[in-house]
Amino acid sequence: MTTDAGAPWLIVGLGNPGPEYAMNRHNVGFMVADLLAGRMGGRFKRAGKAQAQVVEGRVGPPGTGGRRVVLAKPMSFMNLSGGPVNALRDFYKVPLGNVVAVHDELDVDYGVLRLKLGGGDNGHNGLKSMTKAMGADYHRVRFGIGRPPGRMQVADFVLKDFASAERKELDYFVDRAADAVEALVLEGLERAQSTYNS
C-alpha cells in the first residue's frame, strides 16, 4: 500500500483517559504521543465533536517543511477508540495508509519495538475497535510490554503501572518509540523497520 504524500498523517496514541491510568502499561501509546507533542511544540486540545484530544503540527528536519501530522489521544477509553479515530480521519481527510496506532504489545519483550502495516488485533481492545471502525490496513508501532508474570490475568497486568525496574528504562524506550514514529512518517515503513525492528 502506498501512502498519499500530500495528505496529513494521523498518529494515534492508544490509552485510557484519567490520571489513575497515566502510568499503566496500557497507556504507553499516550506516553509516546505526549513526547511527540512536546517535540512539535504543541499542547493537546479537545478536538471539536470528536471524543479525542489533538495536536496539529509537522515532523521533519528544520527548514524542510516536514510532513503534516495530527497527533491524537482518544478520550473514549481503550475499547471504544475506533469511533473517535475514524471521526478524526474523516475530518482531516487522512487515508487509512497514513494512520499510525502506537500501542502496548504483550507478545513482544519489554521495550522492544515492532513496526508493521495491517494484521490482526492480537486481543488488543484498542486495535479491535479501530479495525472494526475503519478496516485493518493502518500502521502499528507496537511497544513491547512482555507477558504477565505467573498466573496474573492479562487485564490486571496491562492496567498496572510499569514496575520500578522497568521505569528506569521507560523514558529511553518511549523516546525510541517516538523516533520510530517519526522515521515511519518521514522515511516509510521498510526503512523504519530496518532501523527499529530490533
Catalytic residue positions, numbered: 26
**Can you give the three-state secondary structure of 63-127, one letter per residue?**
CCCCEEEEEEEECCCHHHCHHHHHHHHHHHCCCHHHEEEEEEECCCCCCCEEEEECCCCCCCHHH
Is residue 44 a contact partner of residue 53, using CB atoms and an 8 Å limit?
yes
Q: Which grid cell is 6?
A: 500530500
Is residue 148 a contact partner of residue 157, using CB atoms and an 8 Å limit?
yes
